[in-house]
Amino acid sequence: MTAATFEQKPINLLHIEDNHSDATIFKELISEKLVDLNIKNVYDGDEAISFFKKRSFNLPNIIILDLNLPCRTGNEVLYWIKQKDHLKHIPVVIFTTSALEDDVTYCYRNHVNAYLRKPKKLDEYIKVIDHICEFWLSLAVLPEITQEGEK
């Protein structure tokens, strides 16, 4: 991974993933690559919605969202986020095992920023995490979130 040529501000990342092992591996791999990163994990769709309802500050700069969640699905969470004026500008990256074309189409119609499939092999999974770090957390300029959730 190449270092960014600009001063990166701290990143607040929300990871919505029901599999605790996947969440732990994801956090460890990303934390190895970035120093100034705060990761918050939530483990189901209802917890994700509750996370946003309870706060108007410390919102994430980026959301990594699994689709296969208990309670509300990732599709429902995505739709809910993109309907809220103070949240809809936050980039959402789908990171899921779903290979359904209907899921891909639904997500892009609902303004997802990227749809990535989780590889089954660990070495391929690590490569995808490297690409997420390089593009979304190093090269891309993420929105700055203020107290009210918008700037």
CATH topology for the 11-139 domain: Rossmann fold (3.40.50)
* Below-50 pLDDT ranges, the chain: 1-6, 147, 149-151
User: CA–CA separation, 52 vs 87, rounded Å?
Assistant: 9
Output the pLDDT for position 151: 39
pLDDT of 10: 85
Q: What single-letter amino acid sits at 18?
A: D
- State the pLDDT at residue 34: 77
Q: In the prediction, which pLDDT does 20 show?
A: 96
Is the Cβ–Cβ distance between 129 and 26 less than 8 Å?
Answer: yes
**How high is the pLDDT of residue 1?**
45
Instruction: Show me where the domains of the chain are located.
Output: 11-139
Tens digits of residue pLDDT in 58-83 = 899 999 999 999 999 999 999 999 99
